[in-house]
Amino acid sequence: MQTRWRPTLAEAAAFVGGELRDAPDPNRRVKGFAPLEKAGPEELAFLVSARLRAAAERTQAAAVLVAPSYAHLARPRIVVADPYLAFARLQQRFFPRPRGRGRRDPTAIVHETARIAEDVDIGPYAVVEEEAEVGAGSILGAGTYIGARARIGRECILHPHAVVMPECVLGDRVVLHPGAVIGADGFGLAWSGERWERIPQVGRVIIADDVEIGANTCIDRGTLGDTVIEEDVRLDNLVQIGHNARIGAHTAMAAQAGVSGSTRIGKGCLIGGQAGFAGHLSIADRARVGAQAGVIGDIREPGEYWGTPAVEKRRWLRAFAALLKLAERK
């Protein structure tokens, strides 16, 4: 990918509030980032791990983003409080998110009652059903599907084959990666004694602003009320959110995690890959749930939780150590 922004080292440092040190030419222009071992004299790099200190000393990068603890690195450097955050902000500047320009592929199918802003891009074979709405600057990739009366906010990006089922709502600047499905039926069934009876799922999915949904992630519509994803939530690939669940603002969830129906995840939580949550639970704000943890009860306090059933991290480590000692006994 190419970038049009070519700042000088001094401009890049100022952009992230950093201090440029030992650069022979502060006016050298850079075109982006590269790994420490591959970066050239027109590229930046960053150092966030002590294991990469030797690579940072050898790099040919124009400058390295470093924390104050590495301020004496023997290379041109930009000293910032958080190099990884500075990298993220510079990378966003190098590669700003695209915005629609009103291009519509002739193979797209858009219902005559749909309300589409003039500058929306609609890719090949995309479908927009009746009375759906798509806000200004949004992009609908190839093969995307927008169901009847669904609402898509401004500057959203729906990558190829993303699906938004009828009645569902996306806020502004939402990103759906390829294959994400918003608003499929929840897993609602009743056992009659002889067979399963399906419970029609008639609620919606409501997604707030600045949410990003990974590839092939599925968020089920509510049975009666709504499944809600609050602002700035980040869901990785292959995540499953059950019907009527609620995910609190600024929560991030890694790949293959699953949340059962009607569970409430608090704000600012971090959920590891393959973690699972039983239904009808309440998870406190700022909880950190480890990878492959199995949460079967409420988490009432912030903290770090590991294992199955999930318990506080220190308790789990003590229990595991005791288990290993027991296994060593003859």
Cα 72 to chain center, whole Å?
A: 34
Task: Report residue 98 as tokens.
Answer: 């695209």
The pLDDT of residue 3 = 67
Catalytic residue of the set 111, 243, 250, 280:
243
The pLDDT of residue 4 = 84
Strand 77-79 and strand 19-21: pairing? antiparallel
Domains in the chain, ordered, with CATH?
A: 9-94 (3.40.1390.10), 181-193+237-330 (2.160.10.10)
**Which residues make Cβ contacts (< 8 Å) with residue 129, sequence separation at least 6?**
111, 114, 145, 146, 147, 148, 149, 150, 166
Strand partners, 78: 20, 65
Q: How many Å apart are CA 148 and CA 133, to the nearest integer?
A: 9
Cα 92 to chain center, whole Å?
A: 15
What is the chain's pLDDT, residue by residue, as a tens digit (330 residues)? 666 899 999 999 999 999 999 999 999 999 999 999 999 999 999 999 999 999 999 999 999 999 999 999 999 999 999 999 999 999 999 999 999 999 999 999 999 999 999 999 999 999 999 999 999 999 999 999 999 999 999 999 999 999 999 999 999 999 999 999 999 999 999 999 999 999 999 999 999 999 999 999 999 999 999 999 999 999 999 999 999 999 999 999 999 999 999 999 999 999 999 999 999 999 999 999 999 999 999 999 999 999 999 999 999 999 989 988 887 875
* Other Cβ atoms closer than 10 A to 27: 9
| DSSP reduced 3-state for 220 | strand
- By the 8 A CB rule, do 206 and 188 touch? no
Q: How many Å apart are CA 293 and CA 271, to the nearest integer?
A: 9
CA dihedral (312, 313, 314, 315) positive or negative = positive
Give residue 216's region: left, alpha or beta (phi > 0; psi -120 to 50). Answer: left
DSSP letter for each residue of 89-108: HHHHHHSPPP---S-B-TT-
* Other Cβ atoms closer than 10 A to 268: 17
Q: Which secondary structure element, helix H or strand E, spans residue 119, and what is its range?
A: none
Q: How many Å apart are CA 206 and CA 164, to the nearest integer?
A: 11
DSSP letter for each residue of 239-272: -EE-TT-EE-TT-EE-TT-EE-TT-EE-TT-EE-
Q: Write the DSSP symbol of residue 199.
A: -
250 is catalytic: no
Q: How many Å apart are CA 314 and CA 157, to the nearest integer?
A: 41
Q: Write the DSSP symbol of residue 237.
A: T
The pLDDT of residue 327 = 75
Q: How far apart are the first and last CA of the chain?
A: 60
